[in-house]
Amino acid sequence: MRTRTARASQASRRHLVVCVALIIGLCASLALAGCGTSAKTSKVVKVGYLRNDLHELAYYVASQKGYYKDQGLDVREGGVFNAGPEEMSAFSAGQLDIGFVGTAPVMTFAGQGMADVKIVAQANMGGSSIIVRPGLDAPDVAALKGRTIAIPGNATVQDFLLRMALEKAGVDQSEVRIIVVKPPEMLPALASGQIDAAVAWEPYPTMAVAQGSGRVLETSEKIWPHHPCCMVIADAKFLDENPDVVKRFVAAHVKATQYIQKNQLEAGDMAHLFTGQDTAVARAAIKSIEFGFRPDIKKLEQYATFMSQAGVIKDKNAGAFVRGLVDSSFLPGSP
């Protein structure tokens, strides 16, 4: 009897050991798969951004440095666009989850009910300049009176910057001729004398100087310090269904932005790889861009007021419109 009992006891112990081993193996497998921790759960995110845009460098840095992967995100290129309205149309069609795009197209599409998105972080501030053609003896903005000035689009941030600069210089808008020209076409137009000045974002001002097709008259930082430029936006439905994913994406974006701030020389080299611009141009251009991730509500309200007055957005209450558009809760330090 004691022998049979001993054998039964040994069998039970062996069975217990096997079970424990299986449990340990299963837990190890789950841990390797990332199960049980939301920060490691793989999630596909379709991201859109603008082609060759230095302002959106944080996207490239986060991709190359593995910051998205560190957050358990499978970030995939949902589209590379030549202009902000093209990207916003992709949001309208439900083709993108998150995107890097200019403030103007975001407010335009959101303000006209053409896209349901939220600003979840900022990509950059500043980064634009007023450029004048070679040979134009203009010491300041006041000297542009009677001149032809190009902007990339009506109601754009560059349009607002120009009008602000003219007002500060005491020049009435009726005393200049403002026309719309795409930034890539501004430089040859300046070089040939078809236009006297232009307002463009980087790298075009730096390219103008490098090519001898123009010189910088005034930077946007002097016109409107720390003004909003490009934003990180999320599709509202995607955000509602995946708040943790958006939070992780923003965390990677913040880390990439901080990397750019602390490593400008390498960031300039990465900007060269991201845009295909000459290394010297890329390094010089990013010095004019202020990389930051926290939206300035007051400045966005100021710009929204301008867009409302221009009839671009329907909501006449700029403050309410901006507060409904911006969701900063995913940024560090937010409640």
CB distance 297 to 321 below 8 Å:
no
Q: How many CB atoms lie within 10 A of CB 11?
A: 10
**Helix pair angle (157-169, 297-309), 10° resolution:** 90
- Stretches where the chain sits below pLDDT 70 are 1-42, 334-335
Mean confidence (pLDDT) of the chain: 88
Nearest to 255, CA basis, from 74, 128, 68: 68
CB distance 132 to 217 below 8 Å:
yes
Is-same-fold flag (40-126+229-325; 128-223)?
Answer: yes
Domain locations in the chain? 40-126+229-325, 128-223
Report DSSP state, residue 51.
T
Pairwise CA distance, residues 295 & 122, whole Å: 5
Give me the pLDDT at residue 335, please. 60
Pairwise CA distance, residues 122 & 56, whole Å: 10
| CA count, 13 A, side-chain hemisphere, 138 | 24
Residues 261-297: pLDDT tens digits? 999 899 999 999 999 889 999 999 999 999 999 999 9
| CA count, 13 A, side-chain hemisphere, 194 | 11
Residues 314-329: pLDDT tens digits? 878 999 999 999 999 9
Pairwise CA distance, residues 22 & 218, whole Å: 69
Quote the pTM value: 0.83
Give me the pLDDT at residue 226, please. 94
Strand partners, 131: 198, 216
CATH H superfamily, domain 40-126+229-325: Periplasmic binding protein-like II (3.40.190.10)
Burial label for 9, CB within 10 Å (0-12, 13-18, 19+), is exposed
Q: What is the CATH number of domain 128-223?
A: 3.40.190.10
Give me the pLDDT at residue 334, please. 67
